[in-house]
Chains A and B, each alone.
Chain A
Amino acid sequence: MSDNITFTIDGVEVKARHGETIIEAADRAGIYIPRLCYMKDLIPHGSCRVCTVMVNGRPQAACTQPVVQGIVVENNTPAMQKHRRNLIDMLFVEGNHFCMFCEKSGNCELQAMAYRFGIPAPKYPYMFPDKDIDASHPDIFIDRNRCILCGRCVSASRDVDGKTAFEFAGRGPHKKIAVNAEANLGDTNAEASDKAMSVCPVGALMKKRIGFAVPIGSRKYDTKPIGSEIESSTRK
């Protein structure tokens, strides 16, 4: 299909295809809209709200909002960046994130996002919630302290692996990832080779025994900020 829709992001003209979301069109145009829950090829969840942009003056999540001819999108503005920084802060304080001894450090999208936004420490008070770890599975573990409820594993397990090994349980601040068993991941049919095991943006759903296979210093975001892979891409 051809790029027959034209709209602007921060004044820059972007071409898009009918049916595309704002974030998809922006990615192809090499414009980075910060995001955490969104992952290409999964159904957009629209839960982290980090990709919130103004569309004709109204806030919308770029990952779920379809492009429309002529819309004016505000992305990298002081107001939107402020809200994003606040959302990232919220994600840090609602969980228990200890980057200095987390095996995901350097590959973690939440950590990388904080660095991109120049957040040395969240401005909100830590909640220090009581969360648990499920290490019952021989090859995988869940550390709910680090979960940001992005829904990627839920979607990947359901829509790609066809297993529905994960779903959300509870509501409000008590919402958490549950597994398709009475209590333990080890009692589900989840496997390390599942798509669901490779989508977690943080260190919540991890494969065992490979945590430090790639040393800190040589990891994905150790040298380049998150989003640079999109900003440096040329238009496809």
Chain B
Amino acid sequence: MSENLGTFIKNVCHKYKKDKTRLMDIACEVQEQFGCVSGKAMDLIAGEISIHRVEVENLVSFYAFLSKEPKGKIVIRLCNDIIDELNGAEEVAKAFSEELGIKVGQTTADGKITLEYTPCIGMCDQAPAAMVNDVIVTNLNSDKARKIAHSIKKHGDPSKLSAPLGDGNNANELVLSMVNNNIRQKGEVIFARHEQGAGLTKALSLSPVEVIRDIKTARLRGRGGAGFPTGMKWEFARQATGTNRYVICNADEGEPGTFKDRVILTECPDLMFEGMTIAGYAIGSETGILYLRGEYAYLRAFLEKILSNRRKNGMLGKDVGGKKGFNFDIRIQMGAGAYICGEETALISSCEGLRGDPKTRPPFPAQKGYLASPTTVNNVETFCCVARILDKGAPWFTEIGSQGSPSTKLLSVSGDCKKPGVYEVPFGIKVSDLLKMVGAEDTAAVQVGGPSGQMIGPADFKRTICYDDLATGGSIMIFNSTRDVLRIASKFMEFFVEESCGYCTPCRTGNVLLKERLDRIIAGKGEPSDLDYLQELGESVKVSSRCGMGQTSPNPVLSTLKNFRGQYEKLTKRSKDGLMQSFDIKAAIADAEAIAGRPSEKFSLNS
């Protein structure tokens, strides 16, 4: 085994030219082959690529899909986000657990199968869902879970689980997945019929500066959530000094409740790659990277094939599209289970073979990004918009949508509604209209923008989805009146605690404290003063956190405090005896009572 390990690592490191910036890929391959990156493996890798062993540990210990301790040849990862939970994920976990004879978090005695939880895997529209290695299984219930566990024990081949196959390219021979696209509404921009390559051809007939001008005229803003103007980002990257420039596509769709990039990657990957190529031309880059979240590994072979087709057709490689001197190619970088890598500087760290810590800004990626070179990081959907803008022109693009937010937005709709799935809607749509469209009834709360966004109640349903009002990367989670809003907020806080990189104090610790106090309130042991406590603590986390994740991580608490204050107030009534709710006087004096051999006169049990 150890000789085997040594040879394997030698070969893998050789394959990546002993390049330490490819440590992610090396570690992922070792993990896949041996079920772990053991201490011995760390030593060997460090030796091969001339870094310190602790630097390998630094990376391995960061990503959820990498581990120092051995895991089973098959790892079942049950999605436990709130939507899956409300759809019966607990029952599913119980079924798996019983059938495999292990608890969640354990590995079977024969070392073959590991069962664990994972946050949102981008399947909220077909929840509960799970990953069995790279294979996605959806719409689970306890019966299905038992069958899956049973057959995995028998044949150990996850690929046999994908039946029936899903719609569209999910049935492609390189995907073969049971995932469904669930495209509920096609708009004019992303899901409309379009001529392949038209945008790139148009771009190559212009100068790079003209391409950027068109993107600026179209007022395209980032579709990942932050909404930074794309043209400006490109201009900064183009103007920054550096020999190499990079285009990175952020397909680390990790915000719970978001899955629209999954559908783009499945159905319109050419449009996205076309947008990346246009970006390469515009900023003067020769290299693009698609950062694909580990949860979407089932799409990797398919995407690699699309890339190789594009190379064959002259759409990637040397003299792209016949344009002399424009060379551009794209590689895929796999993620390994870390929400924070959706933050652009953390994503860059991850591409560089480092743990996904956000970087210190300034310098910004446009000045010094990937390998300290000018870099633009844009969302999957943004790149699709780019290709369409070049094809149809900026005026066409700005005619759709609202005044301040041109064009359409893909929304990932899940939760309590009849038609969960992906909707391409014009910006400016009212929440109430959206709820009607998706068949949501008795809606009590809508989480707009995922946990890092806002939880809104009916009073805000007349508001609109756009950059100037309710901005969102696309996650829309719907909750009806039977759901407990504070428990949902607590679940979101649990997510942030799990996914914090731990770099800065407020996010690492503040979120743990927010969750502790919220849970205390939910348990009926809160004080009225706890509301101010939460507000102040939340604001401190918001103000002092180092990156966008930390700055938005208290939102589940802050937005429910604002929009669902009544729920908090109901639970934090002052107690009649004047003692703190969290203090159990009877438990505290039980020992003394036992010694005294009589009940307390003041706090007797019947008081």
Within 8 A of B (CB), among A43-61: 44, 46-50, 52, 59, 61
| Residue A181 lies at the interface, judged by CB distance under 8 Å to chain B | yes
Specify which chain B residues have a CB less than 8 angstroms from the CB of A168 in the assembled complex. Answer: 58, 355, 502
Known A-B contacts A47-B505, A173-B502; A90 and B513 likewise in contact (beta carbons under 8 Å): yes
Nearest residue in A to B356 (C-beta to C-beta)?
Answer: A171
CB-nearest residue of chain A to B39: A182
B506 contacts chain A at the CB level, 8 A cutoff: yes
Interchain pairs with CB closer than 8 A, number: 118
- Residues of A contacting B539 in the complex (Cβ-Cβ under 8 angstroms): 83
Bound Cα distance from A180 to B338, whole angstroms: 24
B537 near A86: Cβ-Cβ < 8 Å:
yes
> Is there contact, CB below 8 Å, between A180 and B54?
yes
A59–B504 touching, CB < 8 Å: no
Instruction: Decide yes or no whether A113 CB sits under 8 A from chain B.
Output: no
Stretch at the interface among B142-150, B248-256, B310-318, B540-548: B540-548
Q: Is A40 an interface residue (CB 8 A)?
A: no
Q: Which residues of B contact A173 (CB under 8 A)?
A: 497, 500, 502, 508-509, 512
Most buried by B among A65, A90, A124: A90
Q: Is there an interface contact between B502 and A46, defined as CB atoms closer than 8 Å?
A: no
Judging by beta carbons under 8 Å apart, are B501 and A171 in contact?
yes
B210 close to chain A: CB less than 8 A = no
Please measure, in the bound complex, the distance between the C-alpha atom of A167 and the C-alpha atom of B502, giving whole angstroms.
Answer: 13
Restricting to B119-173, which residues have a CB under 8 Å from any CB of A?
none
Interface string of A91-107 (1 = CB under 8 A from B): 10110000000000000
B62, CB-defined interface residue at 8 Å = yes
Given A64-B360, A171-B500, A180-B52: A48 and B505 interface contact (C-beta under 8 Å): yes
> Contact between A149 and B54 (Cβ–Cβ < 8 Å)?
no
A87 interface hit (Cβ, 8 Å): yes
A46 B62 Cβ-Cβ under 8 A: no
Interface size class of B (residues with CB under 8 A): 35 or more
Taking a contact as CB atoms under 8 Å apart, the answer to whether A127 and B543 are in contact is no
Could you tell me the dominant secondary structure of chain B's interface residues? helix
The residue that B508 contacts in the complex, of A64, A94, A178, with Cβ under 8 A, is: A94
Bound-state CA distance A87–B536 (Å) is 12
Across the interface, A44 reaches (CB within 8 A) one of B52, B57, B58, B360, namely B360
A178 touches B54 (CB 8 A): yes
Known A82-B536, A180-B54; contact A170-B502, beta-carbon cutoff 8 A: yes
Residues of A within 8 A of B503 (CB): 47, 175
Residues of chain B contacted by A90 (CB below 8 angstroms): 505-506, 509-510, 513
- Name the residue on A nearest B537 (C-beta): A86
The answer to whether A94 and B500 touch across the interface, beta carbons within 8 angstroms, is no
State the Cβ distance, B372 to closest chain A Cβ, in Å: 14
| Cβ contact within 8 Å between A164 and B544 | no
- What is the distance, in angstroms, from A62's C-beta to the closest C-beta of chain B? 12
Nearest-CB distance from A49 to chain B (Å)? 4
List, in ascending order, chain B residues with CB within 8 A of A46's CB: 360, 504, 546
A125 within 8 A of B: yes
| A236 close to B (CB within 8 Å) | no
Residue of B355, B504, B537 touching A49 (CB-CB under 8 A): B504
Interface residue count on the A side (C-beta < 8 Å): 42
Q: How far is the CA of A59 from the CA of B355 in the complex (A)?
A: 25
Contact for A83 among B61, B516, B544, CB less than 8 A: B544
Is A33 an interface residue, CB under 8 A from the partner? no
Check: B53 CB closer than 8 A to any chain A CB. yes
| Contact (Cβ within 8 A) B61 A47 | no
Task: Name A198-219 residues within 8 Å CB distance of B.
Answer: none
| CB neighbours of B81 from chain A (8 A) | none
- Asked if B505 contacts A87 (CB within 8 A), the reply is yes
Whole-angstrom distance between the alpha carbons of A65 and B360 in the complex?
Answer: 9
Chain B CB within 8 A of A112 CB:
no
Q: Is B543 touching A52 in the complex (CB atoms < 8 A)?
A: yes
* A73 adjacent to chain B (CB < 8 Å): no
Taking the closest CB of chain B, its distance from the CB of A19, in whole angstroms, is: 11
The interface residues of chain B lying within 8 Å CB-to-CB of A12 are none
A144 to chain B, nearest CB (A): 13
Chain B positions within 8 Å of A, measured between CB atoms, are 39, 52-55, 57-58, 61-62, 338, 355, 360-362, 497-506, 508-510, 512-513, 516, 536-537, 539-540, 543-546
Chain A interfacial positions (CB closer than 8 Å to B) = 44, 46-50, 52, 59, 61, 64-66, 82-83, 86-87, 90-91, 93-94, 124-125, 127, 148-149, 164-175, 178-182
Give 14 pairs: A residue, B residue, CB < 8 Å, sorted on A.
A48-B504, A49-B505, A52-B543, A86-B540, A90-B510, A94-B508, A164-B54, A167-B55, A171-B62, A171-B355, A171-B501, A173-B512, A178-B54, A182-B39
With A59-B544, A83-B540, A181-B54 given, name 11 new contacts (CB 8 A). A46-B360, A52-B543, A91-B505, A94-B509, A124-B537, A164-B52, A167-B55, A171-B500, A171-B502, A172-B500, A181-B53
